[in-house]
Chain A
Amino acid sequence: MLKYSVKRILGMIPLLFVISLIAFMFVHLIPGDPARLIAGTDATIEEIENIREKYGLDQPLYKQYMDYMGNLFQGDLGQSIVTGRPVLDMLVERFGPTLRLTLASMAWALLFGLLIGVISAVKRNKWPDHLSMFFAVSGVSIPSFWLGLMMIQLFSVQLGWFPTGGIGGIETYILPSFTLGAGVAAIIARFTRSSLMDVLKEDYIRTGRSKGLTEFKVINRHAVRNALIPVVTMSGLQFGFLLSGSIITETIFSWPGLGRLLINSITARDYPVIQSEILLFSLEFLLINLLVDLLYGFLNPKIRYEEGS
């Protein structure tokens, strides 16, 4: 297990290097002079020169990258062009709301996804299965921006049950987390169904039934527990997608998180913020994938056994 973990962690280093390079190159990839882009359209030549000097854009590229990495390790992500505040402070401030929204969405997704998946597998090819799977395909096909807006229209405008947007008490979490979690719930449901159906074919399930266990015990004690191993790892991967998938949901519900900050920064051409967000989102995604891989290795006896032998 240790060997496997070390191998996986070491394997990430080149990827981290390339991602840092991409995030660094971001401003240089945009057509035009980076200093002019940062300074804005109505900047004077003098202002552009100042920016060039301030951001070290007059230095050779390799030197700029070294400086960028040096600053990165010291936690200096530069300053926002729009607000003038340190980018790191802005990201820290926005991270909490995004994480809380993602966790709430994951809770919905797991609750509905597992329930629908288990019902579907147990009642295979009967009407509950067909109905559940229709919901699951619908869940992956429904545009989250449409679902969110329609829920605002029904539950906030018509019924007045929940606020239309913003962050506050628990009631502000319901609609955004449901919108964000719907797609993932559908994916978890489909995955649980196929995983459970595979387990239900195993010999030990037949043994359980033949020794007179109730169907509930067979499903609950033996089948679901074994079927959950791949589902847990897949749900972990979905968590990584959710963190970045919140871009649209945060925009609809005026949620003060990282996703909305990214869209606002793109609209305002606030390049230092966009650059740092790209770096942060991909780092989060990679780290979650790594954790999921390690968790899979831990949960799956086959990998443990291979290492042991």
Chain B
Amino acid sequence: MAEAATRKEEEQEKKVTPFQQFWKSFKKQKVSFAAGVFLLLLFIVAAIGPFIAPYGPQEYDYDNLLSGPSWQHLAGTDDFGRDIFSRILHGAWISLSVGLSSVFIGALLGTILGIISGYFGKWVDSAIMRVMDVLLAFPGMLLAIGIIAILGPGLFNVVMAVAIFSVPVFARIIRSSTLAIKSTLYVEATQSIGSSHFRVIMKHIFPGTVSTLIVYFTMRIGSAILIAAGLSFLGLGADPSTPEWGAMLSNGRDYLNNAPHVTFFPGLAIFLTVLAFNLLGDGLRDALDPKIRD
């Protein structure tokens, strides 16, 4: 009887998928879980923002220039009488997509380069890693500003700039994961039965790097949003009239004395979003790292 019960328990344990194991561990981290829920809501708001916003992003109200928060305008109005709350809702999509797309491009290129570098080694590895060293020799913000100085200001160029400076970070991390996986017995066994490089990489190496990739992807989104907003703040990113959070904040600088809310609310939106991504990243790292989980 006892044996049967133990066997049943063992069977149940076997059925636990890696995802279930991760989910169990992740749910325990209440702050990170809350950050995840916040981000989920933010994505929904970003998607439906234009439909639920009480005013349009360029709707002028000349009777209410720079007025403080009220029931009519929850976060007040800017120097053109535009409703700041509505503009934040409209801008959520811009900030999120700039952060996501730049990190996605950086992660995609970085992962391809990191896997090639770690898997093939030798001169391929040296060549790729030296190029990455050169990119890392420039402090992030300076690299982004240099790229913008070449490409010219604009949101698309901001995405490119942030993507380029994310590439070496991902390449390095994925390379070290690849090196670790490459030396495992099962990869050696697969290679010895004559599997092609492509098959080994797609079936064994890449899946092994996914957890690291997820953690760094989440963490980098926060810094990408910060740098993109910083570039817009410096006047090198979004057009000043766009409801991009960094650009909105920059517009409010001239009215800091009499209308601080113009700067306060867009900054708060950036802060909370970046904070949520960082907290989620911390939680994912703890849940996906077997050393911590066990």
> Measuring CB to CB, which residues of chain A are less than 8 angstroms from any residue of chain B?
14-15, 18-19, 22, 26, 29-30, 137-138, 140-146, 149-150, 152-153, 157, 240-241, 243-245, 247-248, 251, 262-263, 266-267, 274, 278, 281-282, 285-286
Closest partner residue, chain A, to B257 (CB atom): A157
> What is the minimal beta-carbon distance from B117 to any residue of chain A, in angstroms?
18
Residues of chain B within 8 A of A137, CB atoms compared: 275, 278-279, 282
Given contacts A248-B234, A263-B234, contact A143 B279 (CB under 8 A): no
Q: B260–A262 contact, CB under 8 A?
A: no
Task: For the complex, give the distance between the alpha carbons of A141 and B222 in Å.
Answer: 7
Closest partner residue, chain A, to B219 (CB atom): A140
Q: What are 16 of the A-B contact pairs (CB < 8 Å)?
A: A15-B134, A26-B149, A30-B150, A137-B275, A143-B230, A143-B270, A143-B274, A146-B270, A150-B263, A248-B141, A263-B145, A266-B149, A266-B236, A274-B146, A285-B137, A286-B137
Q: B234–A251 contact, CB under 8 A?
A: yes
Q: B256–A149 contact, CB under 8 A?
A: yes
> What is the minimal beta-carbon distance from B96 to any residue of chain A, in angstroms?
15
> What is the minimal beta-carbon distance from B243 to any residue of chain A, in angstroms?
17
In the complex, whether B54 has a CB less than 8 A from a CB of chain A is no
Q: A278–B142 contact, CB under 8 A?
A: yes
Q: How many A-B residue pairs have CB under 8 A?
A: 116
* 8 A Cβ contacts from B124-144 to A: 130, 133-134, 137-142
For B274, give its contact among A141, A150, A248 (CB under 8 Å): A141
> What is the minimal beta-carbon distance from B202 to any residue of chain A, in angstroms?
33
Closest partner residue, chain B, to A242 (CB atom): B139
Majority secondary structure of chain B interface residues (helix, strand, loop or mixed): helix
Task: For the complex, give the distance between the alpha carbons of A285 and B253 in Å.
Answer: 31
> How many residues on the B side are at the interface (Cβ–Cβ under 8 A)?
42
Task: For the complex, give the distance between the alpha carbons of A140 and B148 in Å.
Answer: 24
Closest partner residue, chain B, to A244 (CB atom): B139
Task: For the complex, give the distance between the alpha carbons of A281 and B144 in Å.
Answer: 13
Q: A153–B134 contact, CB under 8 A?
A: no
In the complex, whether B267 has a CB less than 8 A from a CB of chain A is yes
Closest partner residue, chain A, to B270 (CB atom): A143
Majority secondary structure of chain A interface residues (helix, strand, loop or mixed): helix
> What is the minimal beta-carbon distance from A264 to any residue of chain B, in angstroms?
11
Closest partner residue, chain A, to B236 (CB atom): A266
Residues of chain A within 8 A of B252, CB atoms compared: 149
Q: B139–A245 contact, CB under 8 A?
A: yes
Closest partner residue, chain A, to B282 (CB atom): A137
Residues of chain A within 8 A of B174, CB atoms compared: none
Task: For the complex, give the distance between the alpha carbons of A152 and B264 in Å.
Answer: 12
| Given A15-B133, A266-B149, 10 additional A-B pairs, CB 8 A | A15-B134, A15-B137, A22-B134, A142-B275, A143-B226, A143-B246, A143-B271, A146-B270, A263-B234, A282-B139
Residues of chain A within 8 A of B229, CB atoms compared: 143, 145
Q: A14–B275 contact, CB under 8 A?
A: no
In the complex, whether B50 has a CB less than 8 A from a CB of chain A is no
Closest 8 interchain pairs by CB? A146-B267, A244-B139, A141-B275, A141-B274, A153-B260, A244-B142, A145-B233, A29-B150
Task: For the complex, give the distance between the alpha carbons of A144 and B260 in Å.
Answer: 16
Task: For the complex, give the distance between the alpha carbons of A207 and B246 in Å.
Answer: 53
Residues of chain A within 8 A of B208, CB atoms compared: none
Task: For the complex, give the distance between the alpha carbons of A211 and B11 in Å.
Answer: 49
**Most chain B CB within a 10 A radius of its CB, from A26, A145, A153, A263:** A145
Residues of chain B within 8 A of A29, CB atoms compared: 150
Residues of chain A within 8 A of B274, CB atoms compared: 141-143
Residues of chain A within 8 A of B137, CB atoms compared: 15, 18-19, 282, 285-286
